[in-house]
Structure 1
Amino acid sequence: MNCMMDCADQARKPFFYDVTLRDGNQALPKPWNNAQKKDVYLQLLKLGVQGAEVGFPASSEMDFESVKELAQLTAEMAAAGDEVAQKVVVAGLARCVPSDIQRCWEAVQYAPNPRIHTFLATSPLSMEHVLHMTPEQVKARAVDCVKLAKSLVGDRGTVEFSCEHFGDCLENMDFVIDVLKAVVEAGATTLNLPNTVERYRPMLYISQIKQVYDALPKNVTISVHCHNDLGMATAATVESFFVGATQLEVALNGLGERCGNTNFYEVALGLHNSGVDTGLHLDRIYETAILISQWSGISIYSRAPLIGAEAIVHRSGIHQDGASKTKDMKKGAYRPIDYSIIGRHQNDSLSFTSQSGRTAVYEIITKFGYKMSLSEAAELQPILKAYSEKEGELSAERVLDVFREQRVNVNGRLIFNNVEVVPDENRFVFHFKKDKEAVIKSITAEGPIEAGLLLMREIGMPVELVKYRQVVVPEKDTLWAGRGLSRIVLKANGKEVEGRGVSSDTLKANMRALFGGVNLLYK
């Protein structure tokens, strides 16, 4: 309670500085291309983020172009009146190398609020064994590079300096503070103190943050950047705010090197629950988490705080009793937040109304065990809304019915009837209708999927196979449980869809998925 009261008395607000597009992206097995980075950036703006480190311009031509494009996009949005774009700081990362800093400025200069973020290690271990530099040399280089960065940004932008491996500087804090004072004099206005590798308990790191905060002028912004090697990055970041850190460097879904960066959502809700106004659109969190999982290819851990599938599940009788008795209260017996704050529907028994959005569709269908994307949910939402306007509130089972009708064994221009296999000849004979006309086609191929794709090309509806998976219908779908479920992702004319086919016969399930996907692409 004292923490909440102390916080409520402070005028200082946190500055959420997201590093997903730099630290998060560089750690992905398959880093995003420029178009994907744009999608992530626009989602960050929807969240209301105050700062974003969008890349490392000197690392590659692709990263340079991406940072430049996002800076220009921000300027265009700001000119059109977008308030978030007008205020957001767009930063690029640069080593303490003049060519890096110059390249960074060439990319970020187009943004309304550009920033050069440069860094140099100050821990004894890194200076001696990685940089092979003396402390005096490190200080001199840091000052020279900050001066260069400041000369480039002038009054238009800002300079951030990071003491890489700050968390390892327990034994040379006097030197670190001396360097920080020198770079402030050289033009840095934000000082980032990274826990580059989490080795110790949070309170040691937090005590270092306080030591720097007490030693530096109060017009300087103290920033923290924590990695999650021991699973305590959120705790270290949240508590750092209460000892003077204002800029909190975080990543969507906790993406980042090794065990990830500090999780954006956990910090936001940790501060929110402590009475801090984050200035963020918290109701966008759940939607964002789902999108980032889909775009990154990294699944959300089922027990991930706030966003995991199990985060709202109660199985113990004692827990169920307490949850039931407090379900309509602002503070639940076994619930950290009202999940509607993050745009998540928390009730076990979900329903859909004409006011429900795509996340409600997504949650209902995925609770039945089906996989689906948010874009698919968005396509189903207006269809369900039309039903709801006629029928009133739709039960979860009714929503599932509509999903089956619209996304499983889909008929359209094509209607699949049967396929016969002539094994000795590797021949497949398809019986189907195209535009209401009965058709029989014989295709020679190594397998049924290949035959189906060749058939589509022959009838003028070519598609590219992106993914294929054969599973079983989830047990929670009692109508079809136990039957084969084929999921085939297809692409044509720049659009990607997932076709689903259900049958007790695996071959027919495959073909129904293929025909259904083609129907979605060629309406």
Structure 2
Amino acid sequence: MRTIKVFDTTLRDGEQMPGVSLPVNYKIQIAKQLDKLGVDVIEAGFPSASKGEFEAVKEIANLGLNAKICGLARVVKKDIDQAIKADVDIVHVFIPTSKIQVEHTIKKTPDEIVQLSVDAVEYVKSHGVECMFSAMDATRTEMDFLKRIYKAVEEAGVDIINVPDTVGIATPFRFYDMIKKLKEHLNVPIDVHCHNDFGLATANTYAAVLAGADEVQVTVNGLGERAGNAPLEEVVALLYAEGFKTNIRMEYLVETSRLVERLTGVKMPPNKPIVGENAFSHESGIHAHGVLKDARTFEPGIITPEMVGHKRRIVVGKHAGRHQIKKILEDAGYVVDDEKLSIIVQKVKELGDKGKKVTDLDLFAIAESVLGEVSEKDRIINVDEVTVLTGNKITPTAVINAEVEGERKVTSAIGVGPVDATFKAVTELLGRKIKITEFRLDAITGGSDALANVYVTVEDEDGETFTARSAGADIVMASFDAVIKAVNYLMLKKKRKK
């Protein structure tokens, strides 16, 4: 049960994500949330980068948070002075160490790089401030030189070293081996910083912990340069699942994720592990049936949605089964018998087959529509077929083939539009005066495939009225269904009176 410290760099490396720029008030909100979450260190920014960055870091450093506040600096006195003036608890100094970066950036000899690093660490420590040292691009640096420079800064008094996989090229086995060798070579704590260029940031971070790393650098939602950094929520949940301790209050993970999503404008995909909308959602009938009996059947089990501030959702779609649809309806207060349930399930699957995302609202509309139907044995009108024609040079026309009180009828009518033509064809079908006194159409969800909710009130020649509703992706057919329902009820009502 080793305790692993969590170093969050959302406000520094996370903000370096293209398109992300956080004003001071946003940074303060995120810093307070990170402190509430329980991170051990908050890297608040790069104080020498700009005046605004300096002021943001200084404000955060003076908020009185429980977390230690860190500022980034190159191995130059000007940067270090700015970080110290910003009142940080830790100055994080770095220098390139891989051949490719040295050749194309600082152009120094290995001896000069080591000396610059030692001088920077000693300078930070002379001001009574903690110091972290990073050999930038460590995973592409020769191991002998990496050991040499880390040992030199250790002897200079560094408090912790960081091993960054700067360009995300590490793999778990190689990174494990690297950290293991450094752990055997050094006495200071080891921190790791993994990028996600090959989607291995979480795996590499976990491998480093297994090899002996003491601290992990992460960002909320995996924000950061290029493909981002190791996501805080994934790393923390995995460490918990594998028996490691952190100081993170996991019940605030989803809350923190959504705050950062809102303030940065970077939307999370629904299938984002741990905090994504679908992380604990189930559509497949087999999965949903199992989860309703015991969540462990189709979830990791050791991490529950409640533990991370999430909720389990049983959703509907073309893969949905009877059990989950019945459970959703029952939870919403609907009483559905087996016959009606079969019709509801079929309608849901039909919508799903058309590529429609079926929401709970869609399901409730379908259920209410089905529950509002006259039973087959009591129907006055049984429709076999309805055809509606419309177009740029076609007069809107509706043709209905139905059985009315046991008599086969086929009628047609034209109108100013397809819905009007359909209503008139129904009137012709009945052979009596029927008026549509109210017609209302609501789109339940957005988009061109939105499910339409149609409300229709019909009135006969005696002034009797009835209101019915229907729901469907096809507005014309939903309108037709609503009218037929209303007429069926109206005629049944009069028949029973007689």
Fold conserved (TM > 0.5)?
yes
Given residue 262 of structure 2, which amino acid in structure 1 is its aligned partner? Q
Matches within 5 A, 1:328-407: 331-335=296-300, 337-348=303-314
2:191 is equivalent to residue 257 of structure 1: no
Equivalents in 2 of 1:344, 1:117: separation in Å?
34
1:318-351 superposed Cα distances (whole Å, 9 cap, x missing partner): 3334323323xxx443345211000111142787
Whether contact under 8 Å (1:238, 1:267) holds in the other structure is yes
Q: 1:472, CA displacement in angstroms? A: 6.0
Change (3 A) 1:192 1:290: same
Given residue 177 of structure 2, which amino acid in structure 1 is its aligned partner? S
Given residue 106 of structure 1, which amino acid in structure 2 is its aligned partner? K
SS in 2 for 1:59: coil
Residue 198 of structure 1 is matched in structure 2 by 168
Whether contact under 8 Å (1:237, 1:267) holds in the other structure is yes
1:123-154 superposed Cα distances (whole Å, 9 cap, x missing partner): 122122222111111111111111111112x1
Count of aligned positions? 337
Matches within 5 A, 1:206-221: 206-217=176-187, 220-221=188-189
SS in 1 for 2:71: strand
Give 1:67's match in structure 2, choosing from 57, 61, 76.
57
Whether contact under 8 Å (1:322, 1:334) holds in the other structure is no
Given residue 315 of structure 1, which amino acid in structure 2 is its aligned partner? E
Equivalents in 1 of 2:213, 2:201: separation in Å?
14
Equivalents in 2 of 1:31, 1:475: separation in Å?
30
Q: 1:57, CA displacement in angstroms? A: 0.2
Give 2:195's match in structure 1, choosing from 187, 211, 227.
227
2:25 is equivalent to residue 35 of structure 1: yes
Whether contact under 8 Å (2:175, 2:207) holds in the other structure is no
Residue 94 of structure 2 is matched in structure 1 by 119
Whether contact under 8 Å (1:160, 1:191) holds in the other structure is yes
Equivalents in 2 of 1:40, 1:66: separation in Å?
12
Given residue 124 of structure 2, which amino acid in structure 1 is its aligned partner? A
Residue 445 of structure 2 is matched in structure 1 by 474
Give 1:99's match in structure 2, choosing from 54, 62, 78.
78
Change (3 A) 1:229 1:472: farther
Give 2:135's match in structure 1, choosing from 160, 163, 173.
163
Given residue 54 of structure 1, which amino acid in structure 2 is its aligned partner? A
1:212-240 superposed Cα distances (whole Å, 9 cap, x missing partner): 011001xx110000000000100111121
Give 1:294's match in structure 2, choosing from 255, 258, 262.
262
SS in 1 for 2:48: helix
**Runs of 4+ in structure 1 over 6 Å off:** 349-352
Change (3 A) 1:326 1:147: same
Residue 251 of structure 2 is matched in structure 1 by 283
Whether contact under 8 Å (1:312, 1:335) holds in the other structure is no
Equivalents in 2 of 1:208, 1:193: separation in Å?
9
Whether contact under 8 Å (1:54, 1:67) holds in the other structure is yes
Given residue 251 of structure 1, which amino acid in structure 2 is its aligned partner? T
Residue 385 of structure 2 is matched in structure 1 by none
Q: 1:185, CA displacement in angstroms? A: 1.3
SS in 2 for 1:58: coil
Larger Rg: 1 or 2? 2
Residue 315 of structure 1 is matched in structure 2 by 283
Whether contact under 8 Å (1:28, 1:296) holds in the other structure is no
Equivalents in 2 of 1:173, 1:210: separation in Å?
12
Q: 1:164, CA displacement in angstroms? A: 0.5
| TM-score (normalizing by structure 1) | 0.61
Equivalents in 2 of 1:227, 1:369: separation in Å?
38
Residue 186 of structure 1 is matched in structure 2 by 156
Given residue 46 of structure 1, which amino acid in structure 2 is its aligned partner? K
SS in 1 for 2:196: coil
Residue 461 of structure 1 is matched in structure 2 by none
Equivalents in 1 of 2:167, 2:253: separation in Å?
27
Residue 267 of structure 1 is matched in structure 2 by 235
Change (3 A) 1:367 1:258: farther
| TM-score (normalizing by structure 2) | 0.63
Q: 1:244, CA displacement in angstroms? A: 1.0
Q: 1:296, CA displacement in angstroms? A: 0.8
Residue 336 of structure 2 is matched in structure 1 by none
Change (3 A) 1:286 1:274: same
Whether contact under 8 Å (1:319, 1:334) holds in the other structure is no
Give the fraction of aligned pairs with identical amino acids, expressed as a percent.
34
SS in 1 for 2:95: strand
Residue 418 of structure 1 is matched in structure 2 by none
Whether contact under 8 Å (1:226, 1:262) holds in the other structure is yes
Given residue 140 of structure 2, which amino acid in structure 1 is its aligned partner? D
2:16 is equivalent to residue 21 of structure 1: no
Equivalents in 2 of 1:36, 1:472: separation in Å?
36
Whether contact under 8 Å (1:193, 1:224) holds in the other structure is yes
Whether contact under 8 Å (2:176, 2:210) holds in the other structure is no
1:264-293 superposed Cα distances (whole Å, 9 cap, x missing partner): 000000011112221211000111111111
SS in 1 for 2:239: helix
- RMSD across aligned C-alpha pairs, in angstroms? 2.7
Equivalents in 2 of 1:236, 1:277: separation in Å?
18
Residue 518 of structure 1 is matched in structure 2 by none
Give 1:89's match in structure 2, choosing from 61, 65, 68.
68
Given residue 345 of structure 1, which amino acid in structure 2 is its aligned partner? K
Equivalents in 1 of 2:50, 2:265: separation in Å?
23
Change (3 A) 1:103 1:340: same
Change (3 A) 1:65 1:99: same
Residue 174 of structure 1 is matched in structure 2 by 144
Change (3 A) 1:43 1:369: farther
Give 1:108's match in structure 2, choosing from 69, 76, 87.
87
SS in 1 for 2:216: strand
SS in 1 for 2:62: helix
Given residue 229 of structure 1, which amino acid in structure 2 is its aligned partner? D
Matches within 5 A, 1:417-432: none
